[in-house]
Structure 1
Amino acid sequence: MNVTLDGYIAAPGGDLGWSGGDGPDSSPGDELFQWWSDRVAATGLALYGRKLWEEMSSHWPTADRQPGATPAVIEYAQRWRDMPKVVFSSKTAAVGWNARLVTGDAVTEITRLKAEDAGPMDIAGATLAGSAMRAGLIDEYVLVTVPVLVGGGTPFFTALDSWVNLTLVETRTFPGGVLLTRYETRR
């Protein structure tokens, strides 16, 4: 997920304008956008919380048909629609775009999916990721840190009952000082 240098995935009021990498209301650079697109293409199953699902599904299903859509946006939109998705929500009535809805316990379902080896799974959404984190279900943390301080909002990490030891396995710097860090959980 994108995260601010001070550890937030959304600024106060849910503002995501900082997430492009160059300040408020910016978009990610071409190289970072391609990295995200390639990540979507390699994801076996994306797990979405309600809020992020609403954000993504309000834009990406038709982004490739909007005036001025670039080849990169067209590619990402197609990859996003094709990627299998599970949406965890008790408030959402229906989902589309190669997604299924789970209204029950997220930890139970994620545990079941991991046991089935559904392939590489990405968890998107602070509340959902926090539940999986507390249950010890996350094997890898991927942070795309944007050099901006927002001073508050939705934190990336949740409170934990015990430490989680990690091993750094990858770093990459993108234009604008955006830093990718990837850590594996030490078990």
Structure 2
Amino acid sequence: MRPLRYSINVTLDGCVHHEAGVAPDEELMRFWTAEMERADAVIYGRTTYEMMEGAWRRPASGVWPDWMSEWEIPFAEAIDRVPKHVVSSTLEAVDWNAELIRSDLSETVRQLKQQPGEGLSVGGVTLPLALTELGLIDEYIFVVHPLVAGHGPRLLDGLNGPLELVVVDRREFASGAVAVTYRPLR
């Protein structure tokens, strides 16, 4: 069975919003590229799908935008080519190598996990909370940044009860960020 991994940048006060000031540097972008490359597919909700598509989809011209640093291109290429599953009741259609999920979330994700491969990745805020509540996430990768944002959506905010985790890996970065990988105690 393929593991489902939830990975996200988080501030010291638990903020996970992309505007909280946790843009990755070159070293962190290599880390995120490796994470994307080890995913057979990603699962996003509508908001995350649209945000990632707006930032990382290869333009029709085939030329990456001028704002993108050379060291960001490998991540852009990795996310551009990975299959995407988009959970949404409001989108009519998706493209960008994506399929729309409208059916039972729990059953659909269980079926995706049963397929052969190395693993699935989920990102965002709302969808990972639902998947955590369903007990479907096998690994949590939090890149904790030395920053207090003071505002924004919080990591797994609204969880119905405690989530006990065990640390299985830890990596420090020159920026002071620390990637910690956890697995749930079951």
Distance in 2 (CA, whole Å) between partners of 1:125 and 1:43 is 15
Q: Structure 1 stretches (4+) deviating beyond 4 angstroms?
A: none
What TM-score, normalized to structure 2?
0.86
Does the alignment pair 1:75 with 2:74? yes
Code of the aligned partner of 2:38: A
Deviations 1:101-155 (A, max 9, x none): 1123322211221233554111111110000000111111100111111223211
1:100 alignment partner, SS class: strand
Question: Pairwise CA RMSD of aligned residues?
Answer: 1.9
1:31 alignment partner, SS class: helix
What TM-score, normalized to structure 1?
0.85
Residue equivalent to 1:23: none
Higher relative contact order (CA 8 A, sep 6+): 2
Deviations 1:51-72 (A, max 9, x none): 1111110121137521364432
Code of the aligned partner of 2:176: G
Question: Residues 12 and 146 of structure 2 are in contact (CA less than 8 Å); yes or no, is this contact kept in structure 1?
Answer: yes
Residue equivalent to 1:106: 105
Structure 2: give runs of 5+ residues left out of the alignment.
1-7
Deviations 1:18-42 (A, max 9, x none): 112xxxxxxx211100110111111
User: Percent of aligned positions with the same letter in both sequences?
Assistant: 30
Question: Residues 49 and 128 of structure 1 are in contact (CA less than 8 Å); yes or no, is this contact kept in structure 2?
Answer: yes
2:170 alignment partner, SS class: strand
Structure 1: give runs of 5+ residues left out of the alignment.
21-27
Question: Residues 15 and 154 of structure 2 are in contact (CA less than 8 Å); yes or no, is this contact kept in structure 1?
Answer: yes
Residue equivalent to 2:32: 36
